[in-house]
Amino acid sequence: MKKIHFNLIPNPNLTNFDTLVLPVFDKGRSISAAASFGLHELIEKLDAQDDFKGKCGQTLMLLNQNLLNGARLLLVGLGDPDKLTAKSYISAIQAMAKALDNSGACQILDTTHLATPSDQLGQWGLFQNSLILQRSFYDYAHASRGEHTAKDPKLSQVTFMSEDSQEYKLAVSQGQATAIGMALTQDLANMPSNFCTPAYLAETAIELGKQAGFNVQVLEREQMLEMGMGAFMSVAQGTDTPPKMISIQYQGGSADQAPIALVGKGVTFDTGGISLKPGASMDEMKYDMGGAATVLGVFQALAELKPNINVVGVIPSTENMPSGNAVKPGDVVTSLSGQTIEVLNTDAEGRLLLCDALTYAQQTYQPGLVIDIATLTGACIIALGNHVSGLLGNDQALIDQLLKAGNTTYDRFWQLPLGEEWDEQLKSNFADMANIGGREAGTITAAQFLARYTKDVKWAHLDIAGTAWQSGANKGASGRPVPALVEFILQQAQS
Ligand code: BES
Ligand code: MN
Ligand code: ZN
């Protein structure tokens, strides 16, 4: 993906740009900069003539503006300033990006960050603008056709009329790095499972490691069997495609600082195994590696931002297939932690991979905190829909920080409870626990299962079943929750 060149200039010279982007509120109101550009009257006139009423998300491209050296003026409607929310602001900036994409604009002066919702800080508008503009370059078509003809946008330089402070610069780089990370997450997730195999995820990690200087390690089936990852290996025994455990390390802090561990579910295709899924929409189970793709997307962003902190990514990856070797309902397996599991439903495979990956991550990297990210339960979509990811964990301070990061980036999480009452649903007569807890509270019992493998560490679990991709006519990966996790890591680096 081509990178936009971003600048921050407090007093820009209009003649240096081919397009000025101006936010406009309803009733012909605009920001004070409009007056300094001599555009107040024009905006009032457009409103009076009903040509541009400043409705939120409305855009108007005006050409040959004499005031602007014969170039373009793009007006972006934001509606009533008192009713402007994070959500409506974001949709207006998305409309702006679309209008720019449909034009020949190449060097723009963007002033829309000067009109952010009143409950947001100054940097927030810059962050959203750079994120959304860079994201508008994302195009999956090249990867789906196996071609490298990614769209070639005209836009190349974006200048914000803003003070060039450290804080503001960071907001812009964070937005851009987030977009670049999301693009990797989306590419991997959108890729069909015959291309995006566990080996492909491993190669992607190795390639990223080479470019950015990350240490990458990959465990093979034989090693994992030997180490005793009986839960993960029980899922992988049904497929001929080699499973992998991928570790990727970013070291931006001192060597003795305990890392943040991100553990991502990497099921490259989930048929359900012997507990076979129904056929309808089964293609969407190529997205069951959305957690793994998120981890790699976050590392892509870390490569751009290089914050002062240590982060390790751990990705258990396999297909979940029915076969003559597949694990069967009722089979009992021993996890790396030593706890035994009765596999009552082979479609509850995510937790079987994750429990071993969580134990492995703790044993190998002694992390200060662990966050796992997984398309774990259909129940999460029933409970929360597609707008927020489920968040559960054993440390309320950690959860509060994640909730905050999600709200700031508008990549939101919603907390669900944990507790003994739900844990009881995992009781088995034949092992330490069953891998399912019945129909009720499926998202909570799945997390309750993981909680049994994270007793000695601060841990949070993100169930992204509803948010990692969109179904229907606009089917495609979302790149979530890369924005919130990048924000969380940057906050941790500062504190
Ligand atoms: N990958 C699925 C969860 C999923 C389903 C995510 C649909 C997004 C859309 C997971 O492996 C799974 O199959 N979970 C089962 C658990 C059940 C058997 C306890 C589910 O949700 O049905
Ligand atoms: Mn499953
Ligand atoms: Zn799954």
C-beta of 290 in contact with ligand 1 (< 6 A):
no
Distance of CA 366 to the CA centre of its chain: 25
User: Ramachandran region of residue 306, left (φ > 0), alpha (ψ -120 to 50) or beta?
Assistant: left
Is residue 97 within 8 Å of 136, Cβ to Cβ? yes
Residue 437 CA, closest ligand 1 atom number: 19
Residue 379 CA, closest ligand 1 atom number: 21
Does the model's pTM come out above 0.95?
yes
Please give the pLDDT value at position 151. Answer: 77
Rounded to whole angstroms, the Cα distance separating 39 from 14 reads 13
Please give the pLDDT value at position 413. Answer: 99
Rounded to whole angstroms, the Cα distance separating 409 from 392 reads 19
Q: Are residues 257 and 160 in the same domain?
A: no
Report percent pLDDT > 70 for the chain.
97
Q: Are residues 301 and 160 in the same domain?
A: no
Ligand having the closest approach to the CA of 380: 1
51-83: pLDDT as tens digits:
999 999 999 999 977 766 668 999 999 999 999
Query: Average per-residue pLDDT in the chain?
Result: 96
273-296: pLDDT as tens digits:
999 999 999 999 999 999 999 999
Please give the pLDDT value at position 314. Answer: 99
Read off the pLDDT band of 152 (50, 70, 90). confident
C-beta of 463 in contact with ligand 1 (< 6 A):
no
The two three-digit tokens of residue 295, written as one number: 């981890």
CATH (domain of 43): 3.40.220.10
Rounded to whole angstroms, the Cα distance separating 229 from 360 reads 9
C-beta of 314 in contact with ligand 1 (< 6 A):
no
Is residue 357 within 8 Å of 314, Cβ to Cβ? yes
Q: Are residues 263 and 405 in the same domain?
A: yes
Number of Cβ atoms within 10 Å of the Cβ of 177: 25
In-domain check, residue 171:
no
Q: Are residues 129 and 188 in the same domain?
A: no
Q: Are residues 194 and 129 in the same domain?
A: no
Q: Are residues 188 and 160 in the same domain?
A: no
Residue 265 CA, closest ligand 1 atom number: 1
Please give the pLDDT value at position 149. Answer: 56
Task: Look at residue 142 and tell me whether its pLDDT is greater than 60.
Answer: no
User: Ramachandran region of residue 281, left (φ > 0), alpha (ψ -120 to 50) or beta?
Assistant: left
C-beta of 465 in contact with ligand 1 (< 6 A):
yes
For β-strands 340-343 and 244-251, DSSP reports them as unpaired
Containing structural domain, residue 252: 184-494
Q: Are residues 89 and 128 in the same domain?
A: yes
Q: Report the nearest-CA residue for atom 22 of ligand 1.
A: 378
Ligand 1, residues 317, 341, 377: which to mutate, most atoms within 8 A of Cβ?
A: 377
Is residue 215 within 8 Å of 248, Cβ to Cβ? yes
- Domain final position from 130, 164, 198: 164
C-beta of 318 in contact with ligand 1 (< 6 A):
no
Q: What distance in angstroms lies between residue 88's CA and the mean position of ligand 1's atoms?
A: 32
C-beta of 378 in contact with ligand 1 (< 6 A):
yes
Neighbouring residues of 226: CB distance < 8 A, sequence distance ≥ 6: none
Residue 375 CA, closest ligand 1 atom number: 6
Task: Look at residue 404 and tell me whether its pLDDT is greater than 60.
Answer: yes
User: Structural domain tally of the chain?
Assistant: 2
Residue 380 CA, closest ligand 1 atom number: 21
In-domain check, residue 118:
yes
The mean per-residue pLDDT over the stretch 379-389 comes to 98
Rounded to whole angstroms, the Cα distance separating 88 from 85 reads 5
C-beta of 350 in contact with ligand 1 (< 6 A):
yes
C-beta of 436 in contact with ligand 1 (< 6 A):
yes
In-domain check, residue 174:
no
Helices 482-494 and 396-409, axial angle in degrees (round to 10)? 120
Q: Are residues 237 and 266 in the same domain?
A: yes
Please give the pLDDT value at position 64. Answer: 76
User: Ramachandran region of residue 38, left (φ > 0), alpha (ψ -120 to 50) or beta?
Assistant: left
In-domain check, residue 246:
yes
Ligand 1, residues 287, 347, 349, 352: which to mutate, most atoms within 8 A of Cβ?
A: 347
Rounded to whole angstroms, the Cα distance separating 489 from 250 reads 12
Q: Are residues 126 and 214 in the same domain?
A: no
Tell the burial category of 227 from Cβ atoms under 10 Å away from its Cβ (0-12, 13-18, 19+). Answer: middle
Q: Report the nearest-CA residue for atom 16 of ligand 1.
A: 348
CATH (domain of 395): 3.40.630.10
In-domain check, residue 224:
yes
The mean per-residue pLDDT over the stretch 434-459 comes to 98
Q: Are residues 220 and 99 in the same domain?
A: no
Task: Look at residue 150 and tell me whether its pLDDT is greater than 70.
Answer: no
In-domain check, residue 356:
yes
Rounded to whole angstroms, the Cα distance separating 7 from 157 reads 8
- Residue in the structure block whose two tokens are 């603008």: 129
C-beta of 375 in contact with ligand 1 (< 6 A):
yes
197-251: pLDDT as tens digits:
999 999 999 999 999 999 999 999 999 999 999 999 999 999 999 999 999 999 9
Please give the pLDDT value at position 90. Answer: 98
In-domain check, residue 57:
yes
Task: Look at residue 384 and tell me whether its pLDDT is greater than 70.
Answer: yes
What residues act catalytically? 277, 351
Dihedral, CA of residue 187, residue 193, residue 195 and residue 198, to nearest 10: 90
The mean per-residue pLDDT over the stretch 434-443 comes to 98
Q: Are residues 216 and 295 in the same domain?
A: yes
In-domain check, residue 176:
no
Q: What distance in angstroms lies between residue 374's CA and the mean position of ligand 1's atoms?
A: 10
Q: Are residues 81 and 223 in the same domain?
A: no
Is residue 395 within 8 Å of 287, Cβ to Cβ? no
Q: What distance in angstroms lies between residue 1's CA and the mean position of ligand 2's atoms?
A: 33
**CA Rg value for the chain:** 24
Please give the pLDDT value at position 435. Answer: 99
